[in-house]
């Protein structure tokens, strides 16, 4: 199905099943232990051995020697695989560093060996017997030390630098100016389920039961790494205990399980121990961001500049923290720039709302600071500078010698948003939250020892369109089975895809079975970037519409006249059950959703407003979040219950980023020191109060036949800044360096009388 023009009325608009707060269909399986994660698949293949990964003890350098003798002689050991035993391996295009190091070492805890034994304990004990001699090389582990020499990042999807108008001139002549520098921390995904894989070889064919968000990517990259045809790799990942972007790409657990199984000639299961994950896998990169803003005395932004510095291994990309600044607020004179320093800390890559989460954490503080300089309410300042078109549309990056996009048959330099109810998000949220009670002057509201403050921030996250395919079967009982390699990372994919099929085929939800996370199924968009729900459901819709055509044809009914309802297909005097039409052999249809240029003609995005109330202990500086509200405009909400779950989870992650989450860097040795959940703090139940979520009534016909958009990452965008702004309102202490821990507040707290 080609989607290249706005959606019109279709079966989804019936909203008999779609749009209802249906309980997750996988909920009973999760709560009864019948939805096993990768490491728990004891049923899939017999005689599983255990692998234990050894990580490098240096951040950069070479392995001079490895003494494996004592480990090989240890009880229960079946095999040990290092780079020597593995032989020639390639590096998948989506990996920055090699998944198996040696002799060259690229980062701390890079996998250098896997020990395979009969039991986990035997593998772990033997791994401790391996003796490695290293030659260290000097590395760069401090972003600030190389910031000033960092070049512009290499452009990929978007240009790394944009300029519209005369930013420098407009800023220097602005009546009111802000020039501030902010910092965000390195952060870890810290998903509940660690990276884990079971690998089994059947001749030259490899089966993998793993925890991965993008099945097709995993197949492609594993084939590239091992140098075997991708048709010989079968990846299965039906249930995933959280990913947040950390499982988008092939990681060392998959490769080490495969290599260990090949060497031991037995199925091998590997889980990355928790202490290995922050350094061995990926993380959100720290940033240093400078924001300059100029406005006239009436509050109109005349100049806005946003520059961001981040670091990564050679070949890696930047944290794209300036992208939302290109489209969130109006202003004729604009400049953004992404600069990337090459350093030797572990690989940085996508984490929930990459770009927007750290970018809005700073931009939305700057908006509050500017509003204060102008003597304006922070919400009114934002509303005054709202825009219905993209104010900053630089030419797409081009190859050397190629004409820039702007000189070709140029697209609209300022495309309109398909929908943009940001102002409504603020108005609705302000009324619900009681914003009128906020005291503009900081430090005025107290509750015993607690200083009370309110904060607000805008949220924006682009709506990404991606091809997504599905196969739908109608059986002799009138049951519908959906098959797609889409994954469910706790987001409710099973449920919303079942709702989509039920709505389109006119059957009850209990007649639908959804099968996910298998590379033998049609390739979907996968889970990530909040693109999964809209695109995957649109793919299922496309397959169901093709199945409807097959049903109508067999029933002797014109497809455009057929009515599907209550398990029947009917038209005029004809009415047949779907079971009857399917017959003993059943019917099968497969299709995909693919998009034209509709997302080029209209900027598609989701919007929101976050409101937070905090209390800060006047004596200790301890911060407690007291209330949180998110108002979201994200197209048609396919399931309010699962959508709310996604938003409150994202809000919780935003609170962690604001108040506690930081991977501490040992700047001499080059690794994250607090690399487990004992040292890396994440919010727990006691840290989070009741969270309120409002979804605006919205359907976006530009997004897909579902008229939906994503919501899972919108919920984190802006939350950190809303908390930071609330802390300032409570205390008068402006902290521009995340996380906002009590030591950064103590010296500035009002004197307690």
Say if 232 falls within a structural domain.
Answer: no
Would you state the pLDDT for residue 345? 98
Q: Which helix (DSSP H) or strand (DSSP E) does residue 577 occupy?
A: strand 574-577
Q: How do residues 629-683 score in pLDDT, each as one tens digit?
A: 999 999 999 999 999 999 999 999 999 999 999 999 999 999 999 999 999 999 9
Shared-domain flag, residues 609 and 748: yes
Would you state the pLDDT for residue 408? 42
Shared-domain flag, residues 646 and 717: yes
Shared-domain flag, residues 725 and 635: yes
Say if 239 falls within a structural domain.
Answer: no
Average pLDDT, the chain: 96
Say if 646 falls within a structural domain.
Answer: yes
Please give the structure tokens belonging to residue 668: 């001499």
Is 231 annotated as catalytic?
no
Query: What residue numbers bound the domain in which 445 lies?
Result: 417-462+604-753
Q: Assess whether pLDDT exceeds 80 at residue 40.
A: yes
Torsion angle of the four alpha carbons 729, 733, 735, 736, in this order, in degrees rounded to the nearest 10: 80
Say if 546 falls within a structural domain.
Answer: yes
Q: How far is CA 293 from CA 122, 263, 302, 426, 748, in A?
A: 60, 60, 8, 22, 25
Q: How do residues 327-346 score in pLDDT, each as one tens digit?
A: 999 999 999 999 999 999 99
Contacts of 678 (CB under 8 A, 6+ apart): none
Q: How many domains does the chain have?
A: 2
Would you state the pLDDT for residue 159? 84
Task: Give the Cα separation of 141 and 139 in Å (integer).
Answer: 6
CB atoms within 10 A of CB 62: 15
- Do 592 and 467 meet the contact criterion of CB atoms below 8 Å apart? yes
Q: The domain that contains 711 carries what CATH number?
A: 3.30.365.10
Task: Give the Cα separation of 347 and 252 in Å (integer).
Answer: 12
Would you state the pLDDT for residue 411? 55
Q: Assess whether pLDDT exceeds 70 at residue 206.
A: yes
Task: Give the Cα separation of 122 and 51 in Å (integer).
Answer: 10
Provide the 3-class DSSP secondary structure of residue 525: coil
Q: Assess whether pLDDT exceeds 50 at residue 119.
A: yes
- Do 576 and 617 meet the contact criterion of CB atoms below 8 Å apart? no
Residue finishing a domain among 572, 600, 628: 600
Q: Assess whether pLDDT exceeds 60 at residue 409.
A: no
Q: How do residues 677-711 score in pLDDT, each as one tens digit?
A: 999 999 999 999 999 999 999 999 999 999 999 99
Shared-domain flag, residues 625 and 574: no
How confident is residue 618, by pLDDT bands cut at 50, 70 and 90?
very high
Q: Assess whether pLDDT exceeds 80 at residue 155.
A: no
Shared-domain flag, residues 612 and 735: yes
* Residue whose entry in the numeric block shows the structure tokens 């079942």: 498
Residue finishing a domain among 600, 630, 647: 600
DSSP string, 611-638: EEEEEEETTT--EEEEEEEEEEE-BB-S
Q: Averaged over 225-232, what is the pLDDT?
A: 98
Please give the structure tokens belonging to residue 749: 């707290």
Say if 427 falls within a structural domain.
Answer: yes
Selecting among 369, 613, 662, 713, the annotated active-site residue is 713
How confident is residue 412, by pLDDT bands cut at 50, 70 and 90?
low
Shared-domain flag, residues 550 and 568: yes
Shared-domain flag, residues 725 and 675: yes
Say if 10 falls within a structural domain.
Answer: yes
Would you state the pLDDT for residue 414? 83
Shared-domain flag, residues 458 and 483: no
Pairing outcome for strands 2-3 and 587-595: parallel
Would you state the pLDDT for residue 407? 37
Shared-domain flag, residues 614 and 681: yes
Portion of the chain with pLDDT greater than 70, in percent: 97
Shared-domain flag, residues 520 and 580: yes
Q: How do residues 429-451 score in pLDDT, each as one tens digit?
A: 999 999 999 999 999 999 999 99
Say if 29 falls within a structural domain.
Answer: yes
Task: Give the Cα separation of 55 and 241 in Å (integer).
Answer: 23
Q: Assess whether pLDDT exceeds 90 at residue 397.
A: no
Shared-domain flag, residues 690 and 581: no
Residue finishing a domain among 583, 600, 617: 600
143-151, long-range: CB < 8 A, 24+ apart: 143/286, 143/288, 143/309, 143/310, 143/311, 143/341, 143/343, 144/288, 146/311, 146/341, 146/342, 146/343, 147/288, 147/309, 147/339, 147/341, 149/341, 150/309, 150/311, 150/339, 150/340, 150/341, 151/339, 151/340
Say if 735 falls within a structural domain.
Answer: yes
Q: How do residues 521-558 score in pLDDT, each as one tens digit?
A: 999 999 999 999 999 999 999 999 999 999 999 999 99
Would you state the pLDDT for residue 395? 43
How confident is residue 36, by pLDDT bands cut at 50, 70 and 90?
very high
Would you state the pLDDT for residue 735? 98
Shared-domain flag, residues 456 and 470: no
Cis peptide leading into residue 79 (ω within 30°): no
How confident is residue 156, by pLDDT bands cut at 50, 70 and 90?
low
Backbone dihedral angles phi then psi of residue 735, each to the nearest 5 degrees: -105, 125
């Amino acid at each position: 199905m080609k989607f290249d023009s706005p959606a019109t009325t279709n079966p989804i608009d019936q909203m008999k099943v779609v749009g209802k707060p249906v309980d997750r269909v996988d909920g009973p399986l999760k709560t009864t232990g019948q939805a096993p994660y990768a490491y728990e698949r004891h049923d899939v293949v017999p005689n599983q051995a255990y692998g234990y990964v050894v990580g490098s003890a240096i951040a950069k350098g070479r392995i001079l020697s490895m003494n494996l003798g004592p480990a090989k002689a240890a009880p229960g050991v079946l095999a040990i695989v290092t780079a020597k035993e593995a032989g020639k391996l390639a590096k998948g295009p989506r990996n920055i560093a090699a998944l198996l190091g040696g002799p060259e070492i690229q980062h701390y805890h890079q996998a250098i060996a896997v020990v395979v034994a009969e039991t986990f304990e035997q593998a772990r004990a033997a791994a401790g017997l391996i003796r490695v001699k290293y030659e260290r090389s000097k590395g760069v582990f401090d972003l600030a030390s190389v910031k000033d020499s960092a070049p512009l990042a290499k452009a990929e999807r978007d240009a790394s630098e944009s300029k519209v108008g005369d930013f420098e001139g407009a800023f220097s002549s602005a009546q009111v100016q802000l020039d501030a520098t902010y910092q965000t921390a390195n952060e870890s995904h810290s998903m509940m389920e660690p990276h884990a894989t079971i690998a089994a070889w059947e001749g030259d064919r490899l089966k993998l039961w793993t925890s991965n968000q993008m099945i097709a990517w995993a197949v492609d990259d594993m084939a590239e790494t091992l140098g075997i045809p991708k048709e010989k790799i079968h990846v299965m990942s039906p249930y995933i205990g959280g990913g947040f972007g950390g499982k988008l790409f092939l990681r060392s657990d998959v490769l080490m399980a495969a290599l260990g199984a090949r060497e031991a000639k037995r199925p091998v299961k590997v889980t990355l121990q928790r202490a290995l994950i922050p350094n061995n896998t990926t993380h959100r990169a720290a940033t240093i961001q400078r924001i300059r803003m100029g406005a006239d005395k009436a509050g109109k932004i005349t100049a806005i500049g946003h520059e961001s510095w981040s670091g990564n291994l050679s070949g890696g990309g930047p944290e794209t923290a300036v992208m939302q600044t290109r489209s969130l607020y109006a202003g004729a004179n604009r400049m953004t720039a992404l600069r990337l320093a090459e350093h030797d800390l572990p690989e940085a890559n996508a984490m929930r709302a990459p770009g927007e989460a750290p970018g809005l954490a700073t931009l939305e503080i700057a908006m509050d600071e500017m509003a204060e300089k102008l003597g304006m309410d922070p919400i009114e300042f934002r509303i005054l500078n709202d825009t219905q078109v993209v104010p900053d549309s630089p030419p797409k990056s081009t190859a050397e010698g190629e004409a820039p996009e702007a000189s070709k048959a140029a697209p609209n330099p300022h495309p309109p948003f398909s929908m943009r109810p940001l102002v409504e998000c603020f108005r609705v949220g302000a009324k619900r939250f009681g914003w009128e009670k906020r005291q503009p002057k900081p430090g005025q509201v107290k509750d015993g020892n607690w200083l009370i403050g309110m904060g607000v921030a805008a949220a924006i996250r682009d709506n990404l369109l991606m091809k997504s395919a599905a196969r739908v079967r109608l059986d002799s009982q009138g049951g519908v089975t959906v098959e797609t390699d889409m994954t469910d990372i706790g987001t409710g994919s099973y449920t919303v895809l079942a709702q989509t099929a039920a709505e389109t085929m006119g059957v009850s939800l209990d007649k639908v079975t959804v099968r996910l996370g298998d590379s033998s199924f049609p390739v979907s968009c996968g889970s990530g970037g909040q693109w999964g729900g809209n695109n995957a459901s649109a793919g299922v819709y496309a397959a169901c519409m093709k199945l409807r055509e097959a049903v109508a044809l067999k029933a002797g009914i014109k497809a455009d006249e057929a009515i599907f309802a209550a398990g029947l297909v009917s038209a005029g005097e004809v009415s047949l059950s779907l079971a009857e039409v399917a017959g003993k052999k059943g019917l099968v249809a497969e299709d995909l959703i693919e998009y034209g240029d509709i997302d080029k003609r209209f900027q598609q995005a989701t919007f929101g407003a976050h409101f937070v109330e905090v209390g800060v202990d006047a004596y200790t500086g301890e911060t407690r979040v007291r209330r949180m509200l998110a108002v979201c405009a994200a197209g048609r909400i396919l399931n309010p219950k699962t959508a709310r779950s996604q938003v409150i989870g994202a809000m919780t992650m935003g609170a962690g980023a604001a108040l506690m989450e930081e991977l501490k860097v040992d700047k001499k040795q080059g690794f994250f020191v607090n690399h487990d959940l004992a040292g890396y703090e994440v919010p727990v139940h006691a840290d989070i109060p009741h969270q309120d979520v409002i979804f605006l009534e919205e359907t976006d016909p530009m997004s897909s036949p579902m008229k939906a958009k994503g919501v899972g990452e919108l919920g984190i965008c802006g939350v950190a800044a809303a908390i930071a702004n609330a802390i300032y309102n409570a205390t008068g202490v402006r902290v521009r360096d995340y996380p906002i821990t009590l030591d950064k507040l103590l010296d500035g707290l009002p004197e307690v009388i």
